[in-house]
Every structure is written in structure tokens, then in C-alpha cells.
Structure 1
Amino acid sequence: MSTHSQDQAWAARAAAGDRDAFRAIYRAHVRPVYWIAHGILGSAPDAEDVAQETFTVAWRKLPGLQLAGESLLPWLATICRFQAANRLRVLRRDRDNTANALDDALPDTVSVEDQVISLALAERIAAEVGLLDEIDREIFRLCAVEGYAYQVAAAELGVSHAVVRNRLSRVRTRLRGAVQEVRDA
């Protein structure tokens, strides 16, 4: 099943209240959403918060979503950008109201160009992950997305530690190439 049709199936089930389907959506898209937020905010803790807020909003909005054969990622990226912009406003307001804690590194605006690149990057990564064979996709999900140790992922998948390490290395190399293509474009 393609990533887009899988997204459609999960979205339909999640819209009907299926929490397992929503967890599948989360696992499939949390990393690209996080990196979009991080690109806007430049802070890992704020990006984590915004990623969580994005999925909270998505859960509430799923019942009204009309998904016409598309990935959920562009929709999630849009929610993420709005949540990140809101977070920036709050951070700027707090910065402006706190004379002792000025943070000059805080961006004053959200760059539309950077966000188009972030969305293109997230879509390219999602597409590239969708092209992986099933075992590579599972290794990537377990290790890169969910943070499993190689040995734990190997045990769950019934393969050796070396298989996980080697395949994940190849997947990361492939994804770095995809990222570089988007940056060079």
C-alpha cells in the first residue's frame, strides 16, 4: 500500500475515533513535523512542543478533513507552521516583557521561502521513506523515528544487530542524498 493510500486509510479510521490509526499517523509523520518546527523556531524543546501541539490540533480537525489521494504531510506541515508562528509570537511577547532575558537569536518573522523548502524537504523525505522496502522502512521507523536501540529493533524485527546497523546506515545515506537534492534545487 502506498504512503498516500495508507495515510487515507489511517485518516478515515482516526476521524472515526480510532486512536491506533492516529498513533500510526503520528509515528509516520512526527519527524518531518518536528524538523519543520525546528526550522522555524531553532530550538529543540520548542520544536518538540509545537510538534505535539500540531498532532493535538490534527486529532481535533481530522473528522472534517477532506483528503483527496494526498499525503497527510502537507496538511500537518500547515498546522505546524501556524503553531510555530503562534509560539514565536508568544516567545517574542515574553522576550519583550522580560527586560533581563532578551534573546536576540529569536527570529522576528517566519520566512516563507524557508518554509517552502522545509515542506519540500519533508515531502521528499516522506516520499523517499515510502520507496524503501518493508524491512528498511521498519528499521527506519523503529531506530530513527521512535529512537529504539539497534539491538531492540533487531529483536523486534527478528534480524541481527548488524542487519539493523547496516541497513539503517544505507537508509540514512539515501535520505541525506534526497535532502541534498532538495537543498540544491
Structure 2
Amino acid sequence: MPEHADGDAALVARAASGSEHAFRALYRAYVRPVYWLAHGLVGTPADAEDVTQETFLAAWRRLPELTLESESLLPWLATICRFQAANRVRRQRRDREHTAAGVDETLPATVDVERQVATSILVDQILAAVRGLSPLDQQIFRLCAAEGYAYQAAADELGVSHGVVRNRLSRIRTHVRTATETETA
């Protein structure tokens, strides 16, 4: 049986008790969406990888004190990721100001704060729209949109047909798009 079929709450409880196996399952489930959020906030693949790793390290340390408020660990990880990205940007800015060697060509010349805020707001809107979905639709969204499962793989995982996943995902995308467009209009 797949590891995340237990649900995030069960995996979080086991990981908080020291289960590396449970934490690896959570990592595999959420590393992609955390990476893409980090990339949107810091702008480079290398920095996004570092922020992603720092996010999961901080999550591992904080799991014993976590009370999961939703069915998904993603909102909590997204919050940690935003803080880690902001810390990295501040650290890079400070390092650039204090080095005599000049500007590091690999770092962005300027930090687009407006883009970071817009990305953060969009992520919050998407998460809010997904929280309003049925449990099955939330699982389909997590598997297909966040984890990159193909329709048939998600269908096999959830015990439903390929058509159910395809049709529901189409409705989910429309719902999320409408919810985010309504919020930004």
C-alpha cells in the first residue's frame, strides 16, 4: 500500500516520533511544490534547491510541535519556505554589500519584491481554493498537480477510473483558476 495513503496526519505523527521513513514519504509528496514556490521567490534553480532543503530541515526540526490544521502539510511547508526564502534573500543582499569582490553574477541583480508578494498571494489563493474541494478532489489535485502523477497513475492510486481523474481534474483546474481570478480582479 502506498505510504501517503495513510494521510498526512498519520505520517506527521510518525515522523514527529522520529520515523525517517514517514518523513521521507512526506518529503517525496511535497518536494516539487515546495521547490517551485522557492524558485518563484528566489529566482534561481540553485537557490531554490537550497531553500527547499532548508525548508525540509526546518520542518523536520519542528514536526514534534506541529498540530496539523488541515489534511495537507503543504500550507505549513509553504509558510516555512517563504521564511527560508526571505532569509536567503536578506543573507545574499548582506553578503553582496559586505564583499569587496563586487557583484556575484549568479545572483539576481535585484530582488523583485512585487513578484515575490504576487507569487505568495497566488499560492495562498490556490491553497484556499483547494481546501474548499471534496477530499477526493483534494487528493486528485495533490497527486496530479502537486506531485505530477499521470491520470492513470492517480486513478490507480485512488481506486477510481482514468475518466474520473481526468474529468475531476478539469473541473478542479477551472475552480482554482476562477477562484484565483476572482481574488485578483
Q: Same fold (TM over 0.5)?
A: yes
TM-score, normalized by length of structure 1? 0.66
Show CA shifts across 1:11-65 (max 9, x none). Answer: 555433345278448736862x434322222234532442232122111123345
**2:56 is the counterpart of 1:51:** no
Alpha-carbon distance between aligned partners in 2 of 1:29 and 1:178, rounded to the nearest angstrom: 25
Kept after mapping to 1: 8 A contact 2:11/2:23: yes
Greater displacement, 160-169 / 22-31 = 22-31
Deviation for aligned residue 1:78: 4.2
Count of residues in Structure 1 that have an aligned counterpart in Structure 2: 173
Give 1:7-156 correspondences, 5 Å limit. 13-19=14-20, 20=22, 23-24=25-26, 27=29, 31=33, 33-44=34-45, 46-65=47-66, 67=67, 75-88=76-89, 89-90=91-92, 93=96, 97=101, 102=105, 106-109=108-111, 111=113, 114-156=115-157
**Identity value in percent:** 51
Kept after mapping to 2: 8 A contact 1:29/1:73: no
Residue type of the partner of 2:85? A
Runs of 5+ consecutive residues of structure 1 not aligned to the other structure: 1-5
Runs of 5+ consecutive residues of structure 2 not aligned to the other structure: 1-6
Alpha-carbon distance between aligned partners in 2 of 1:7 and 1:158, rounded to the nearest angstrom: 19
Alpha-carbon distance between aligned partners in 2 of 1:159 and 1:10, rounded to the nearest angstrom: 23
Alpha-carbon distance between aligned partners in 2 of 1:29 and 1:127, rounded to the nearest angstrom: 20
- 1:3 match: none
TM-score, normalized by length of structure 2? 0.66
Alpha-carbon distance between aligned partners in 1 of 2:158 and 2:75, rounded to the nearest angstrom: 30
- 2:176 match: 175
